[in-house]
Structure 1
């Protein structure tokens, strides 16, 4: 009878390990689900990064664009800011 207890305990432990592998936390199904969620989050992160880059480019263009508009207004329209003196040099 003592010879049958050891194999029975080993088989029981094997069943527990297999049950954990297939159904428990960290099981193959759970890992697959988490991997799919991770892939979806990575795709969302890429889209958000692209949107952030577009917005940063737009802000940069607006900042530079205002400088360009001011330069054209000064040279072509003679714009003068308050407390500035306009000097026109003729050649």
Structure 2
């Protein structure tokens, strides 16, 4: 009976060791939990960016004002009959 109790105690010790320090133990669980939390933050940022892009796509599909705004700011285009003025600061270099 005594050897059986010692065997059970050793088995319990081994199980506790593998639970806390072994592969897929508590330390691995904590690391994976941290990785999941970080990935969820990244995913939320990407979701927000996607929502902004979809809103911009809807603006471009539905209205000509958004297209005109992009053409003016990004491409430097002007309407027919408009005059473009560039104001240069005297103190600026270039």
TM-score interval (norm. to shorter): 0.5 to 0.7
Give the drift of 1:8.
Answer: 1.2
Contact map agreement 2:59 2:66 (CA 8 A) in 1: no
CA RMSD in angstroms comes to 1.9
1:47 is aligned to: 45
- Following TM superposition, the consecutive aligned residue runs of length 4 or more in structure 1 with deviations greater than 2 angstroms are 66-69
Q: Which runs of 5+ in 1 are unaligned?
A: 70-91
Match among 28, 33, 36 for residue 35 of structure 1: 33
Match among 60, 66, 74 for residue 62 of structure 1: 60
- CA distance, structure 1, for counterparts of residue 42 and residue 28 of structure 2: 21
Greater helix proportion = 1
Match among 1, 17, 20 for residue 22 of structure 1: 20
* Aligned length, in residue pairs: 67
Higher Cα Rg, which structure: 1
- Normalised TM-score (structure 2): 0.64
- Normalised TM-score (structure 1): 0.66
